Amino acid sequence: MGSIQPRVRSRSDKVNPPDPYFQFQHNITVFVSFDKISVVLGQEAIGVLDKMASIVEGVLLAIEAETRRLFSERFPLGACPLYDLTTPN
């Protein structure tokens, strides 16, 4: 069986003993990017995803506007069955 060896102290330990309450501040930066997709290669993920979300939002708003234009009698301004959860479909 092995025995517990005492900690070997260095010369610097005698001058500056280890502080059990040592505190430090640090900043960590994480950079996530896309790979193997030539259009977004090396671009920051959050920027790409934000742009994609705004494109999807624009498409959905355009579809909603066109639906209201084509079927204005069924979808009066301010009323949309997708958002009205009080009445059954």
pLDDT of residue 50: 94
Nearest Cα to Cα of residue 32 among 45, 42, 50, 48? 45
* Single pTM value for the model: 0.49
pLDDT of residue 60: 92
Residue whose tokens read 């500056």: 16
pLDDT of residue 81: 55
Quote the tokens at residue 44.
Answer: 């920051």
Q: What parts of the chain have a pLDDT lower than 50?
A: 85, 89
Nearest Cα to Cα of residue 31 among 47, 54, 52? 47
pLDDT of residue 6: 59
